[in-house]
Amino acid sequence: MENKKSGLMAKFLIPSIIGIILFMIPVKYNGDWTVCVKILADIIGGALGGFLPILCVAIITVSQFYQLFLWRSQSSSRSIRF
């Protein structure tokens, strides 16, 4: 029972600590104070460059078609009876 409780506590604490580090603790980067998430966003944005808007549109489009597919498959499997 104690191992399960400590495992649950670790599952809560580890992501919480990572989130605090990424979003709340300022670091000095290139002479400015910023948070780690902005540094990661700048790195990803610099690596993807002009491809980033196309990637965002593609992800949104695929997500929408997938949602429509799931909605259609679920609605065809259920029949409405009055």
Please state the three-class secondary structure of 55-79 as a single string: HHHHHHHHHHHHHHHHHHHHHHHCC
Confidence (pLDDT) at 61: 97
Is the pLDDT reported for residue 82 higher than 50? no
What does the alpha-carbon distance between residue 49 and residue 64 come to, in Å, rounded to a whole number? 24
Would you state the pLDDT for residue 49? 87
Q: Return the amino acid letter for 49.
A: G
Higher pLDDT, 73 or 69: 69
Model pLDDT for residues 16-59, shown as the tens digit of each residue: 999 999 999 999 999 999 999 999 999 999 998 889 899 999 99
Strand-pairing partners, residue 27, are 34
Other C-beta atoms within 10 Å of 59: how many? Answer: 10
Check residue 46 and give its pLDDT. Answer: 92
Rounded to two decimals, the pTM is 0.59
Question: Can you tell me the mean pLDDT for 67-76?
Answer: 82
Q: What is the pLDDT of residue 74?
A: 79
